[in-house]
């Protein structure tokens, strides 16, 4: 399997890049105080908080921006 750098050199870029997760990656540390589910699970130190990551994603499919200005957060496997 070709690495990402080899794919770029050969012009085999994925036309669907960036993914919804990559588009919002810059906003990863911006979990607001209004994110009540995250704040509640963090306070309880429950299984979802310990085993899942609260990641931002771009909800503007299929026309998401390279740097999503208004991401939505969702629970995702670590």
Instruction: Give the pLDDT of the chain (78 residues) as one tens digit per residue.
Output: 456 666 556 555 555 566 667 767 767 777 878 888 889 999 999 998 999 988 888 777 666 666 777 788 888 888
Asked if residue 16 is part of any domain, the answer here is no
- Beta strand spans in 1-78 (E): 52-57, 72-77
pTM of the model: 0.60
Asked if residue 15 is part of any domain, the answer here is no
Rounded Cα distance, 66 and 54, in Å: 20
Asked if residue 62 is part of any domain, the answer here is yes
- Inter-residue contact 58 to 68 (CB < 8 Å): yes
Encoded tokens for 33: 């105080």
Phi and psi based region of residue 7 (left: phi greater than 0; alpha: psi -120 to 50; beta: remaining): alpha
The whole domain housing 45 covers: 21-77
Domain count across the chain: 1
Asked if residue 4 is part of any domain, the answer here is no
Asked if residue 69 is part of any domain, the answer here is yes
């Amino acid at each position: 399997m070709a690495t990402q750098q080899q794919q770029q050199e050969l012009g085999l870029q994925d036309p669907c890049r960036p993914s919804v997760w990559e588009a919002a990656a810059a906003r990863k540390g911006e979990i607001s105080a209004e994110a009540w589910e995250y704040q509640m699970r963090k306070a309880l130190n429950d299984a979802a908080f310990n085993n899942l990551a609260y990641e931002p994603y771009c909800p503007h499919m299929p026309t998401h921006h390279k740097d999503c200005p208004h991401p939505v957060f969702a629970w995702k496997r670590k």
